[in-house]
Structure 1
């Protein structure tokens, strides 16, 4: 069972930074999604794809994956680079 560990990205539509420190463990889908013949919705019989575990640190997430024998890959978040701008720079 494969999984990935990553940090929640900042929502581009909001300025808040709540829940950004959390690390998430998501399981990779075990089977492809199929369209339901009646409704046309995409779905599968894989229930692990619905599971999303949150941890306070990457070490806790790695320890959980090792404890239960989950092959997990850690995706580190690149550091944020701020482009500092001032309104006065438009008139230089």
Structure 2
């Protein structure tokens, strides 16, 4: 089983910093999704796609992956870039 470990990114609609300190272990899809013949919804037989495990730190997520033999790749958090703007910039 392959998985990826990443820190939850901040949503564009989110002003606060709640849940940004959590690390998520998410399994990589084992098979491609295919449309259901009756309803046309996309789905697959891989149940691990529905699992998302949350951890307080990256080390805890790595320890869990090692304990259960999961090949996990850690994706580091990209640095946040602030774009400082002033209202007066609209009238230059």
State the secondary structure of the residue aligned to 2:49.
helix
Structure 1 window deviating more from structure 2 (35-44 vs 82-91): it is 82-91
Report 1:1-92 matches (<5 A): 1-91=1-91
TM-score when normalising by structure 1? 0.92
Cα distance, 1:58 vs structure 2: 0.2
Provide the rounded CA distance (Å) in 2 between the counterparts of 1:90 and 1:52: 43
TM-score by length of 2: 0.92
Aligned length: 92
What root-mean-square deviation, in Å, do the aligned CA atoms of Structure 1 and Structure 2 show? 1.2
Query: Which one is further off, 80-89 or 19-28?
Result: 80-89
Structure 2 CA distance for partners of 1:39 and 1:91, relative to 1, 3 Å: closer
1:37-71 CA-partner distances (Å, limit 9, x unpaired): 00000111110110000000000000000000000
Alpha-carbon distance in structure 2 between the residues aligned to 1:81 and 1:17: 15
Distance 1:6 1:43 in 2: 24
